[in-house]
Amino acid sequence: MSETPDINLPRRGRVIFTVAVVMSSTCVAQAFGRFTWGVALPGARDELLDGSNTLAGLFGTVNVTAYLLGTLLMSWVSSKLTPVQLVRLGLTISTVSLGTAAFSNSATVLGIALFFMGLGGAIIWIPAPAIGARVFPPERAGIAVGLAGSGIGIGIVFAGQLASWLGRTREAAEVWQLVYKIEFSIAVIVLTGTMLIFKSEGQRPAASGGFGGFGALRTVRAWIPITVAYTAYGFAYILVIAFLVARLKDDSGFSASEAALMFSLVGIAAAFGGVALGALSDRIGRRTTLMGAFIMYAVCGLLVLTGQQPVVAIASIGAGLGFSGAPSLITGHIVAHTDSSTYGPAFAAATLSFGIAQMISPQIGGLIADATGSFTTVFVLSATLSIVGALAASQLPRHRT
């Protein structure tokens, strides 16, 4: 399978172009379409949701529920469309949804926008890492998959810094929607470029992978522990990402701009985490590296609870490394044990359990926060599930691939 632009580029140029498209696509679909909600949550909660953390968690659940449905859809759609066609489709859905959120004036409209953002995110994330990995040699697959995740980190940095900057000059209720408006403008540019330049060349849709893709998933070595690890990650990561800003503002007395800055540190680290841990896994193996990523995420989630600087800043950086590094390593394992005809359905099936976990996670987090009056138990739960992920990762093959 070849994922190349429809232009005559030398090998190096083709690789650079493909990686740029993959990174910008994951930035729009994941960082803008899904994780910006962590920055937007306090303002949208106070303006449209009557200050309810439970409702804010429910809106996060709407987003990840759509991601889950998108995953189910992908097990069928991947056998009908090529990877590049899937990226185009996902980008289109994500861009329209960002525009809807940017100009929404009611909770209902915002909820609809978040739903389709989740759908677009699933459609893009499943093919994007493989598109990047296939243009790299197998021994560099860890870096290639990590680069796809770096696009998410860059987008999170942008969203956090933008919200921090806008928060210094505008009312909090205005900031969240203005962030979405700016992201929508960027998404239009990315979508236009992808539609005009990025073409399918010699690609074919994936083969049928059985019901929900589980037939293909079962061909992946150590498919049970990698699926458990992905599920634990899906539950644990979103408790920190979705509620970090709210935790720092509500429980630790951080200002809106200070809390947004910590969110930006997560994004900065995430921009490098996938690549850094991917490169490390190419040297010492995915098993060891993934175990370390989960343990790091657990420790950093607990350190956030101190509410003290520079501990929170260090913890935010560590959480960002684990946030982007863990899924890149999980994806890399599946890429390494599939081919172009089985990757799509296999990864869709693995992502199904991940999607279920992240669907219920924000709602549970919001309920816990409202019931206890703080986010402490939420972050302890995230750390506990991260340790479960580390134990599952310990069952992966010991060799480097």
Dihedral, CA of residue 264, residue 226, residue 128 and residue 189, to nearest 10: -20
pLDDT at 161 over 70: yes
Q: What is the gyration radius of the CA atoms in the chain, in angstroms? A: 19
Q: How far apart, in whole angstroms, are the C-alpha atoms of residue 107 and residue 109?
A: 6
For residue 253, what is the DSSP state? -
Which two tokens mark 302?
């607990």
Of 296 and 73, more confident = 296
Residue 9 has what pLDDT? Answer: 46
More confident site: 169 or 237: 237
What is the torsional sign of CA 119, 355, 265, 242?
positive
The topology under which CATH files domain 11-393 is: Growth Hormone; Chain: A; (1.20.1250)
Of 368 and 153, more confident: 368
Res. 93: pLDDT tops 50: yes
Write the CA distances from 348 to 67, 214, 343, 354, integer angstroms.
Answer: 11, 9, 8, 10
Q: What percent of the chain has pLDDT over 70?
A: 87
pTM of the model: 0.74
Per-chain mean pLDDT for the chain: 82
> What are 42-59's pLDDT values in tens digits?
788 888 887 787 788 788
Residue with tokens 């926060």: 369
Distance CA 97, CA 63 (A): 11
pLDDT tens readout for residues 330-358: 988 888 888 766 777 788 788 888 878 87
Tell me: pLDDT of 123 over 80: yes
pLDDT at 205: 52
Q: Is 1 within 8 Å of 204 (Cβ atoms)? A: yes
Give the mean pLDDT of 94-115.
92
Domains of the chain by residue range: 11-393
Cα–Cα distance list, 152 to 36, 78, 125, 246, 276 (Å): 10, 22, 10, 21, 14
pLDDT of residue 4: 44
Q: How far is CA 332 from CA 78, 146, 222, in A?
A: 19, 8, 13
Whole-angstrom distance, CA of residue 195 vs CA of residue 2: 17
For 43, the token pair is 């303002």
Burial of 264 per CB tally in 10 Å (0-12, 13-18, 19+): buried
Distance in angstroms between the alpha carbons of the first and the last residue of the chain: 21
Cα–Cα distance between 125 and 200 in angstroms, integer? Answer: 17
Looking at per-residue pLDDT, the higher value among 399 and 70 belongs to 70
State how far the Cα of 86 lies from the Cα of 198, in Å rounded to an integer. Answer: 12
pLDDT in tens, 2-46: 444 444 445 666 677 777 888 888 899 888 988 888 788 878 888
For a pLDDT cut of 90, what percent of the chain falls above it? 27
